[in-house]
Amino acid sequence: MEENSVLLIDKPAGMTSFGVVARVRRRLSQQLGKKAKVGHTGTLDPFATGLMIIVTGKECRNAQQYSKLDKVYEATVRLGHTSTTGDPEGELSDVSAREPSVEEVQRALKGFVGEITQRPPQFSAIKIGGRRAYDLARKGEVVEMPERQVTVFSLELLEYAYPDVHIRVHVSSGTYIRTLAEDIGKVLETGAYCSALRRTKVAEYSIEDAWAIES
């Protein structure tokens, strides 16, 4: 591990992005014999796994440059329920037991390719009035999240075995896969949430070149 560098980490489920940064900072500080400067270039939700680009030392000044890169995810969209957080960590509600056909699912996915409008989830790191949206949401405050334009470059159905729709999606920076899952559920009139999420690429950076956090 070197100072002033880019480090690719495969984040495990259950760990926060800040936890990953703290682990790298502790290890690098021990190695350098001084407090190391370490930052991330975009968070992953605690339940999610996959590629995080960590920057150290002087490379931290370029963090925003990396955060604007497009990304590839593999996700599981679970039909039939909604979640208060859009993921497995929220409170689930039954919506519908209807089982859409594979043709319906493919048609729904096709409708999200291109430039689309999203309303980010309340449980997100977006700042509203200087405060993180998830902090406000946890306190029970109703937050009006501003809509944003994002681009879905491709959306591929990998497997469909009701209630799980497994997809691979290539998106622009700022796209929320939890919101995409919820919107797919609305189109299919079944409800849905993102039950599993893995980031596999950030531009030309690949999960295949990442270190496990235990390393």
- Report the relative pairing of strands 192-202 and 49-56 from DSSP bridges: parallel
Is it the case that residue 215 has pLDDT exceeding 90? no
Is it the case that residue 209 has pLDDT exceeding 80? yes
- R_g of the chain, CA atoms, integer Å: 18
CATH 3.30.2350.10: which residues of the chain?
Answer: 71-202
The pLDDT of residue 5 is: 87
- Cβ atoms 171, 152 nearer than 8 A: yes
DSSP string, 90-126: S-EEE-------HHHHHHHHHTTSEEEEE---SSSS-
Model confidence at 120, pLDDT cuts 50, 70, 90, reads confident
Mean predicted lDDT score pLDDT of the chain: 89
Lowest mean pLDDT among 102-106, 135-139, 172-176, 178-182: 135-139
Is it the case that residue 144 has pLDDT exceeding 90? no
Is it the case that residue 179 has pLDDT exceeding 50? yes
Whole-angstrom Cα distance, residue 70 to residue 171?
6
Whole-angstrom Cα distance, residue 135 to residue 185?
26
Please indicate whether residue 161 or residue 64 has the higher confidence score (pLDDT): 161
The pLDDT of residue 127 is: 53
Model confidence at 2, pLDDT cuts 50, 70, 90, reads low
The predicted-structure confidence for 71-119, as pLDDT tens digits, reads as follows: 999 999 999 999 988 999 889 999 999 999 999 999 999 999 999 999 8
Whole-angstrom Cα distance, residue 215 to residue 202?
21
The pLDDT of residue 146 is: 75
The pLDDT of residue 136 is: 46
Whole-angstrom Cα distance, residue 56 to residue 20?
13
Whole-angstrom Cα distance, residue 9 to residue 18?
13
Residues forming the active site: 45
The predicted-structure confidence for 48-63, as pLDDT tens digits, reads as follows: 999 999 999 999 999 8
Q: Per the CATH hierarchy, to which homologous superfamily does domain 71-202 belong? A: Pseudouridine synthase (3.30.2350.10)
Please indicate whether residue 33 or residue 142 has the higher confidence score (pLDDT): 33
Is it the case that residue 134 has pLDDT exceeding 90? no
